[in-house]
Amino acid sequence: MTALGYNVDRVARGLLTELDLRRLVFEFQQAHGLKADGECGPATTACLRGAAHDVTLPEKRLWPVAVISEDRPPIITSGHFLSNPDRPTHNGVDIMFDYRPGDATMHVGDGGRTAKFWVPYNTAARAFADGKCVIASHIKTGWHVWLDHGNGLMSGYFHLQDKPPFEVGADVRLGTGVGLVGDNPVDDDPRHLHFELHLGDLKDYPSGTLDPEPILAKTPHV
C-alpha cells in the first residue's frame, strides 16, 4: 500500500483523526517559523508544497534584472510573505538597487523606501530562464508576464510598463527582455520589479507560490 493509501485507510478507520492532523500541521508550522495555529492557510500550504516537492531549477538562470555595474547588483527590498509576515499577501519579492547620491531623480513614495532604493529609467526585466510564455496581459498593477520553465516551475514579472515583445505561446530564451520595469499604478510606489516563482498549475494561484529569495541567492548576477 502506498503512503497515501496507508494514511487514507487510517483516516477511514478512525486511526488518524482530525486532531492528529491539526497537531501535525501545528508542529510543521512551528518548525518552519509560521504562525502556529494548526490551520492550513495560504502560507502553510505554500510552505508544505515547497517542502513536499523537489523544485527542479533550470541549470542556466539569471537574476530577472541585470547589474548596473560590478558593484551595483539588484537586491531584494521586500520579501515573500513567508519571510515577511507584515505583508501576508506579498506572493513574491520586490527588486531594486541601492540608491546613491547622483542617481537620477527618484519617484517619491512607498513609505520612504525610495530614500534608500531606486531603479533607473529604461531598466528591462528579463527572463529568469528559458521558458514558454503562458500569460502576457495588462492588469490593474500594470503589464505582467508568466513563463513556464518546465517541471512545474513558473516565473512571474509584474508592474511592467509596456507590452512584452512576444505573444502567449512564444518560446522565450534566458535573459530575453520581458518589458521595462515600471511601478504599481494603484499605489504610490517607486519603480520596481515584483518577481514571483510558482510551483504547479497557475489555476491554483496564489497557492503554490515559492519564496524566490533562497533561489535567487544561488542564481548568478550578470
Please report, for the chain, the start and end positions of each structural domain, with discontinuous segments joined by +: 3-40, 75-216
pLDDT confidence of 10, banded at 50, 70, 90? low
Radius of gyration of the chain (CA): 20
Contact 168, 184 (CB under 8 A): no
pLDDT confidence of 186, banded at 50, 70, 90? confident
Could you tell me which residues come within 8 angstroms of residue 133 by beta carbon, excluding any fewer than 6 positions away?
145, 146, 147, 148, 164, 166, 167, 168, 169, 170, 172
Q: In the predicted model, what is the mean pLDDT of residues 73-85?
A: 89
What value does the mean pLDDT of the chain take?
A: 83
Q: In the predicted model, what is the mean pLDDT of residues 185-198?
A: 86
Strand runs labelled E in the chain: 75-78, 93-98, 117-118, 124-126, 131-139, 142-148, 153-160, 171-172, 177-180, 193-199, 209-210
Specify the CATH number of the domain 75-216.
Answer: 2.70.70.10
**Is residue 183 predicted with pLDDT exceeding 80?**
yes
- Among 16-20, 24-28, 105-109, 114-118, the minimum mean pLDDT is found in 105-109
Q: Nearest 5°: phi and psi at 155?
A: -125, 140
**Is residue 6 predicted with pLDDT exceeding 60?**
no
pLDDT in tens, 84-117: 888 888 999 999 998 887 777 655 444 445 568 8
Residue 194, exposed/middle/buried by CB under 10 A (0-12, 13-18, 19+)? buried
Q: How far is CA 90 from CA 42, 82, 109, 127, in A?
A: 11, 9, 18, 21
Cell reading at 161: 510598463
Cell reading at 64: 530577472
Which is it for the CA torsion 170, 138, 205, 53, positive or negative?
A: positive
